[in-house]
Amino acid sequence: MTPAARLQATLDLLSDIDSAARPADAVVSAWVRSRRHIGDRDRGAIIELLQTLLRHHARLGWWLAKQGRDATPRDRLLAWLVLGEGRTPERIRRLFNGAKAAPAALTEREQAFLTRLRGCTIVHPAMPDEVRLECPAWAEAALRRRFGAAFEAEMAALLTPSPLDLRVNPIRSTREAVLGGLKDLGLRPEVSRLAPYGIRLNERLSLARLDGLRTGAIEIQDEGSQLVALLVDARPGERVADFCAGAGGKTLAIAAQMANKGRLVACDVSEGRLKRCAERVRRAGFQNTETRLLTSETDRWVKRQKGSFDRVLVDAPCSGTGTWRRNPDARWRSPEEHGLDGLVALQGRILASAARLVKPGGRLVYATCSMLAEENENRVAAFLSAHPGFRVVPPREAAPGLAAAVEGAYLSLTPARHDTDGFFAAVLQREDPAPAAEGENGPPPGA
């Protein structure tokens, strides 16, 4: 592809993302599947530029408003080429020339707009902090409370490109073998700092080159997510439930902990996500795992299985603030239809219902990919107040191998401190002699 054609492809993708209700990564995946003829280098360059534009959404919007321009995909790209890449209006005009597969030729107004931006950079002293740090209004106050003096450092870390983290499936391969195979491809893999089966790649590459994804020898999983799965501490032969399994990333990691023995039930309210989970389970070679479609968090299955699981993981739906460097568009989507308060209420209902599955002496692990105390520490405190039969198990006790990553009662990971996605996890052990009776703590969630 010519440089101009790459720019036009980026524009097309950005327009699709602006008009779609789906997250950007889903739009990009569909785009890649429909354009397999595009080479790895071209595809990588297009996606990298797209991600850059998404990471600079607020700052580009600020500059465009200052210049009296609308924040269209075309204007955002034009502004970035000057402000971010330092290109001159003359160089840009040669690319936006209206030729085949190239962007339409610049208008006189666009040329004047680019001339006014010449010599400027993406950050301006007059920018408000929330614009400069790309922090949406709905999350700023909560994140400032969470991080205090470290707020700017954490926001800056969320603006860096995320690495590609892999987790080795120990029933298919070893970390040493996978590292060797990646080196044979000319890549420079690194052993993860904390996750025992983790490998990190800081290079951009086509995933089609990673044969282990097809055979189930490796899975794509952020190191922080791998550490959350380790906190479950599932043992061979136990009964384990992944209550919000989604497409099964943590399910697969837990199945490996169990050495393919025992019973692992992956639950979710989305049939599509569970189908994807089942496909990944089969590819990875696990026979100890099954899927369970739930109608809601209070599905009748939960009542029938009350008190029968050694471990229950609740990877709760959340605002996703911890994933912003990986999914930069997510920060500009409201967390849920009913706002953060509605999301927190849903988390409470899910956690209370999943707790019924835990047997005496068993453990409930509550996790989010959020960095907001409202969804994390505050949610756990509210649960413990309503469920005195549970106690907190510090991560150092629940998973001694994570001692280097944790301080205090909970696992709390951030991009600035740990170079992972932002994750929170609490391990809660049931110590009362029997599960709470139905309705003991008020009407069932959703009633």
Q: Could you tell me the two tokens for 116?
A: 């006014």
pLDDT of residue 364: 98
Q: Could you tell me the two tokens for 37?
A: 């003829």
CB of 402 closer than 8 Å to CB of 367:
no
Q: What is the pTM of this model?
A: 0.91
Amino acid letter at 415?
Answer: P
Q: Is 447 exposed, middle or buried (0-12, 13-18, 19+ CB in 10 A)?
A: exposed
Tens place of pLDDT for every residue, the chain, 447 residues? 899 999 999 999 999 999 887 889 889 988 888 887 888 888 889 999 999 999 999 999 999 999 999 999 999 999 999 999 999 999 999 999 999 999 999 999 999 999 999 999 999 999 999 999 999 999 999 999 999 999 999 999 999 999 999 999 999 999 999 999 999 999 999 999 989 999 999 888 888 889 999 999 999 999 999 999 999 999 999 999 999 999 999 999 999 999 999 999 999 999 999 999 999 999 999 999 999 999 999 999 999 999 999 999 999 999 999 999 999 999 988 665 557 889 999 999 999 999 999 999 999 999 999 999 999 999 999 999 999 999 999 998 998 877 666 778 999 999 999 999 999 999 999 997 655 444 444 433 333
Can you say whether residue 262 is alpha, beta or left, with left for phi > 0 and alpha for psi between -120 and 50 degrees?
left
pLDDT of residue 437: 47
Picking from 60, 64, 77, the residue whose alpha carbon sits closest to that of residue 12 is 77
Active site residues: 369
How would you classify the pairing of strands 164-168 and 309-315?
Answer: unpaired
pLDDT of residue 444: 38
Q: Which residues pair with 311 in a beta bridge?
A: 240, 363
Q: Say how far residue 426 (Cα) sits from the centre of its chain.
A: 18
- Extract long-range pairs of 334-341: CB within 8 Å, 24+ residues apart: 334/138, 335/138, 339/138, 340/138, 340/142, 340/372, 340/374, 340/375
How would you classify the pairing of strands 411-413 and 423-430?
Answer: antiparallel
In this structure, the chain runs to a length of 447
Picking from 425, 424, 421, the residue whose alpha carbon sits closest to that of residue 192 is 421
Q: Is 417 exposed, middle or buried (0-12, 13-18, 19+ CB in 10 A)?
A: middle
* 268 marked as binding residue: yes
Rounded alpha-carbon distances, angstroms, from residue 205 to 42, 90, 129, 327: 11, 32, 34, 18
pLDDT of residue 285: 95
Q: CA 11, CA 205: separation in Å to the nearest integer?
A: 21
pLDDT of residue 440: 42
Dihedral, CA of residue 154, residue 416, residue 158 and residue 147, to nearest 10: -20
Three-state secondary structure readout of the chain = CCHHHHHHHHHHHHHHHHHCCCCHHHHHHHHHHHCCCCCHHHHHHHHHHHHHHHHCHHHHHHHHHHCCCCCCHHHHHHHHHHHCCCCCHHHHHHHCCCCCCCCCCCCHHHHHHHHHHCCCCCCCCCCCHHHHCCCCHHHHHHHHHHHHHHHHHHHHHCCCCCCEEEEECCCCCCHHHHHHHHHHCCCCCEECCCCCCEEEECCCCCHHHCHHHHHCCEEECCHHHHHHHHHHCCCCCCEEEECCCCCCHHHHHHHHHCCCCCEEEEEECCHHHHHHHHHHHHHHCCCCEEEEECCCCCCHHHHHCCCCEEEEEEECCCCCHHHCCCCHHHHHCCCCCCHHHHHHHHHHHHHHHHHCCEEEEEEEEEEECCCCCCCCHHHHHHHHHHCCCEEEECHHHHCHHHHHHCCCCCEEECHHHHCCCCEEEEEEEECCCCCCCCCCCCCCCCC
Number of CB atoms found within 10 A of residue 185's CB: 11
How would you classify the pairing of strands 309-315 and 239-242?
Answer: parallel
